Copies of this chain bind each other. A is one copy, B any other.
Amino acid sequence: MTQKLRRSALTLPLATLAAAIMSVPGAAPAFQPDSPFLAYQEKNKDKWAEEDKQINAKLAALEKKFGKKPNIVYILADDVGWGEMGWQGGGKHRGTPTPELDKLAFEGMRFWSSYAEPSCTPSRIAINTGRHPVRTGLLSVLWPGQIEGLSAEEKTVAEVLSDAGYNTAMWGKWHLGEEPEHAPENQGYDYAYYGMWNGAPDNWPSSFDMYRDAPNPMKAMFYDFPGAAEYKKRTGIDLTEAAFVGRKGKGRKPVEGVAGTLGPDRQEAFEAESIKQITAYVKDKAKDDKPFFIYWATYTQQLQGSKAHHNDKHVDKVNAQASEMAAHNAHVRQLLDTLKAEGIAENTLVVWISDNGPMYAFYPNSGYSWLRGGKGDVLEGGVRVPAMAWWPGMIEPNQDPVDILHLTDLFTTAARLGGALDKVPNDRITDGVDQTALLLLGEGHGRRNMMFHYSGGVLGAIRYEDFKVHITEGHGGLPGMDFYNVMRDPGEKFGQLYPGLFAVTPIQIVLRDHMRLIQKYPHRVSEVTPKGAELTPHD
């Protein structure tokens, strides 16, 4: 009790500020942003209030036209680096063409300053909960067999939108736990069809014993998997039942042609089945009274290849990633065409974003980034990712705003668009910022001026305006701080202390307020993860 009081005392000014800004008379208690955003909000309150009027008018007109809230489709790509899209100089120039994704980008918004968490599970937590993973008790990438997962106490975007009357569906890579309570159907998704419980294609065993006899273990692993029957004989696990297509549940069944070998064919069949289901779902729900939310966590952007797209124009014919990305590109086109054909494109926001930077361990069948570092790093190459937003009639075409976007923002923006901000829990911090103004009013209307870059349980870096400081340990008592002006130097080539010194005070204030609010709203503690294990950096 004493401790609780002390915490409250420490954060009193902020709490008061929050109450003043966020609570609207008569409305449900508003959600709780992190303290630096409260300060930024306070600074911009008049401007934002004016913008909100415009946004409300636009959305009200749309709702009147379509008779419901807008549909929302979030496509979370896997390990695609900043620079890989064709519009970024990758695409066909790297032998990995993305023409349809580029069309989407030029018909909508291209984000050059969009960010994710540094790795897979953390980014999936971020987009689903609007919170930095460190707050949720689940900090790192899950491996097969781990019993941790997304806590039932966390409220996902699917739960928030379900509460507001949305149909909700999920396809692809879950990677948020494999116990029953972690499963998407128990986390707010009415429908879920997923190909990966965890980070690896399928539940393959964590030891590679089964590959010992293969002439080339790596080749066997990725291309010559002996098939489900042999797999079951050796491991006792029935992939056709248990793993690849998810546990049996509502709306899920093993896919014909999929439950066979664990190679490119199977992955490709899964992906083809997914887009077939997605477009069928869109057609089915287009005329539904309720809007829909789709979370498509596609994971076929590297490694295995697609036979169907092997000979596409510009595809690097000796590279698996190239053909796989081409397949994904074609699937996105199918989705957009379906939205148009059903006459609901103007009532559907589509956001495409990558979950983190490239996983160079798979090079040359990996993603790629122009920036320093890759997946697992809080360097720009790990966290700055390509993203695009598309919404004909609502998002002006051919925009490339300088504004910062973070993956957690998609949670809050979805809640805003779904009229469900009051469904976001207010007993915890939500890091995501409502970016509806950026989408609908364009450049300069973003509502984020800083970011925390957590690396597992460790605060690895802070971005504040143009500055970024990397925090490192052990410098004979001096704090280890490497400053970069990541606006001028996105490649983090020129670390410097001198100009950074001018940014120390504002950054320290941001950090202090952030820490104070954690005292008031402590991180969830996993009941499973051993104490201390969650502090390992770079999971």
Residues of A within 8 A of B (CB): 83, 86, 88-89, 92-95, 112-113, 314, 316, 319, 360, 363-364, 368, 370-371, 400, 402, 466, 485, 487-491, 493-494
Distance of A238 from chain B, by nearest CB (Å): 38
- Complex CA–CA separation, A363 to B488 (angstroms): 10
Distance of A323 from chain B, by nearest CB (Å): 13
- Complex CA–CA separation, A319 to B489 (angstroms): 12
28 contacts between A and B (CB under 8 A): A83-B89, A83-B370, A86-B400, A88-B88, A88-B89, A89-B370, A89-B490, A93-B112, A93-B113, A93-B400, A93-B487, A93-B490, A94-B487, A94-B488, A95-B487, A95-B488, A314-B402, A316-B487, A316-B488, A319-B488, A360-B493, A360-B494, A363-B489, A363-B494, A364-B489, A368-B488, A370-B370, A370-B371
Q: Which of B86, B314, B368, B402 contacts A93 (CB 8 A)?
A: B402
Oligomeric state, in copies: 2
- Pair A490/B94 contact, Cβ less than 8 Å: yes
Q: Inside 8 A of A95's CB, which chain B residues have their CB?
A: 466, 487-488
- Pair A370/B488 contact, Cβ less than 8 Å: no
- Complex CA–CA separation, A468 to B191 (angstroms): 49
- Complex CA–CA separation, A402 to B89 (angstroms): 10
Q: Inside 8 A of A112's CB, which chain B residues have their CB?
A: 89, 93
Which single residue of chain B is at the shortest CB-CB distance from A398?
A: B106
Distance of A475 from chain B, by nearest CB (Å): 24
- Pair B94/A368 contact, Cβ less than 8 Å: no
- Complex CA–CA separation, A364 to B484 (angstroms): 11
Distance of A264 from chain B, by nearest CB (Å): 19
- Pair B491/A370 contact, Cβ less than 8 Å: yes
- Complex CA–CA separation, A407 to B113 (angstroms): 32
Which single residue of chain B is at the shortest CB-CB distance from A490?
A: B94
Nearest 4 pairs of A and B residues by beta carbon: A370-B370, A93-B112, A89-B112, A95-B487
Which single residue of chain B is at the shortest CB-CB distance from A314?
A: B402
Q: Inside 8 A of A319's CB, which chain B residues have their CB?
A: 488
- Complex CA–CA separation, A92 to B89 (angstroms): 17
Q: Inside 8 A of A488's CB, which chain B residues have their CB?
A: 94-95, 316, 319, 364, 368
Q: Inside 8 A of A490's CB, which chain B residues have their CB?
A: 89, 93-94
Q: Inside 8 A of A485's CB, which chain B residues have their CB?
A: 364
Q: Inside 8 A of A83's CB, which chain B residues have their CB?
A: 89, 370
- Complex CA–CA separation, A93 to B314 (angstroms): 29
Which single residue of chain B is at the shortest CB-CB distance from A491?
A: B370
Q: A314-B402, A402-B314, A494-B363 are in contact. Are A489 and B89 (CB under 8 A)?
A: no
Q: Inside 8 A of A494's CB, which chain B residues have their CB?
A: 360, 363-364
Distance of A85 from chain B, by nearest CB (Å): 10
Distance of A196 from chain B, by nearest CB (Å): 25
Interface hub of A94, A360, A489 (most chain B Cβ within 10 A): A94
- Complex CA–CA separation, A95 to B493 (angstroms): 17
Which single residue of chain B is at the shortest CB-CB distance from A466?
A: B95
Q: Inside 8 A of A402's CB, which chain B residues have their CB?
A: 92-93, 314
- Complex CA–CA separation, A402 to B92 (angstroms): 7
Can you name 15 extra interface pairs (CB under 8 A) apart from A89-B112, A364-B494?
A: A83-B89, A83-B370, A89-B490, A93-B112, A93-B400, A93-B402, A93-B490, A94-B487, A316-B487, A319-B488, A360-B494, A364-B488, A368-B488, A368-B491, A370-B370
Which single residue of chain B is at the shortest CB-CB distance from A494?
A: B363
Q: Inside 8 A of A94's CB, which chain B residues have their CB?
A: 487-488, 490
Q: Inside 8 A of A364's CB, which chain B residues have their CB?
A: 485, 488-489, 494
Q: Inside 8 A of A89's CB, which chain B residues have their CB?
A: 83, 88-89, 112, 370, 490
- Pair A368/B489 contact, Cβ less than 8 Å: yes
Q: Inside 8 A of A314's CB, which chain B residues have their CB?
A: 402
Distance of A484 from chain B, by nearest CB (Å): 11
